Structure 1
Amino acid sequence: MNGIVLTVLLVVSLASSALADNTESCQNYQIHEIHEELTGLHLRKTEQIKDCVKEDLENAVVVGSPESNKKCRRIFEKVIQNIARSNKKSKKGGKKQRKITQKKLETRCRKDRRTLHKKCSKIGACCSLMEPCREKHASLTEQIIQLKSKLKQHRVQCRSAAN
């Protein structure tokens, strides 16, 4: 009888430790690694499209209709206003305040970069060169889509393993 109870306890403890190891690795290592790879692909895609647009800059034309041109200007001005509004300087002095201000500026810069990255596709729709450049780098877009689905599947597996 005692042998059976010990065996059951051993199996339960092994299962719970394996579940804890699986959950820990899901949350900390694997998801983070996939997310970093996804961020790298986004940056590479942005750089390649930027280089493509720079190469063909002489061939750029303004988007057709006046309505779409107005819409593009509004989008661009709104994005620029949001960034300019967030870059107000503080007037306090002192060494400690400068350190705090520097950290705030770095954080604000990262947020502004993220904002521009998110709004880039909206602004890019106003440029005639964006579509051919996107088509040139469609393979990166496919890789990003695959990684996003992999990340989503992995998160679902980790949630189900945690429950």
Structure 2
Amino acid sequence: MGTIQWIVAIFGLMIGLKTISSETSPFCDDYIRCMEQLEIKQHECLALDKNIRLRSSDACSRQKWDKKLELNALHMRRAEVARDCVQKNHQDAMLAESTLDEETRKTCTSLHDKFQFAKGFTSEESTTSSGSRKKRSIKRNKRDAKKSSNSKATECRNAAKLWHKQCSALAKCCPLVEDCKQSTTEIMDQIYEGRHKLHDMHVNNCI
């Protein structure tokens, strides 16, 4: 093989390796993108919930909202830590995904193809669309600002739940997530404890 042929062969190999490296961990990449969108939505919901908390009329309601906001912040922190851990270990994503069995890989490929965010969908776009509808609703009924605010918060929470569901499904496609669970153990313990306290506040009416 001549010198030129060697150069062409090596150049082709480099291009091939570059292509493979950019496509070898689609599931972990999708998980990271999903968690980024979940964080955006969680921040949006937290701001809406804080506004509702400010309108709480009695001390018990404010205490409950304070606990809810504390839990929301913990969930945001957990999502951030989980995403950061996967990103930090992303160089191992290709090897991790290679351990998926054929059936799991088919399921994950289907998830990759059908999820809206995998096709360029973003939380911001969803919010914009939803926000446009809500603005029209507010113009039709300006008297009901409080109800509109509560409706926005509920809408946001439902959207966050959908993102969480999608991210949880994708987590099963990225073995790195399982390896990173230990990094969120302490935060999850705080979340469980906070849930119990909030439950007791509801049952005992803050007594």
Match of 1:64 in 2: 100
| Paired position in structure 2 for 1:42 | 75
Q: Does 1:73 align with 2:82?
A: no
Distance 2:168 2:159 in 1: 15
Measure the CA separation in 2 of the matches of 1:149 and 1:73.
Answer: 38
**Residues 64 and 30 (structure 1 numbering): CA distance in 2 closer, same or farther, change over 3 Å?**
same
Compute the displacement of 1:158 (Å): 1.6
Q: TM-score, normalised by structure 2?
A: 0.49
Task: For 1:1-150, list aligned pairs within 5 A.
Answer: 24-26=58-60, 28-60=61-93, 61-62=96-97, 63-80=99-116, 100=136, 110=156, 112-150=159-197
Which of 1 and 2 has greater Rg?
1
CA positional deviation for 1:44: 0.5
Could you tell me whether the CA contact under 8 Å between 1:34 and 1:151 is conserved in 2? Answer: yes
**Number of equivalent positions:** 124
* Cα distance in structure 1, aligned partners of 2:176 and 2:116: 21
Question: Structure 2, unaligned stretches of length 5 or more?
Answer: 1-56, 138-151
Q: Secondary structure at the match of 1:137?
A: helix
Q: Which whole-Å CA distance do the structure 2 matches of 1:158 and 1:79 have between them?
A: 41
Q: Secondary structure at the match of 1:129?
A: helix
Q: Deviations over 1:21-77 (max 9, x none)?
A: xx9322x20110000000000001101111111110010121521111222233444
Greater relative contact order (CA < 8 Å, ≥ 6 in sequence): 1
**Gap runs ≥5 in structure 1:** 1-22, 91-95, 102-106
The CA distance in 1 between the partners of 2:75 and 2:101, in whole Å, is 31
Distance in 2 separating the partners of 1:152 and 1:73: 39
Q: Distance in 2 between matches of 1:72 and 1:37?
A: 34
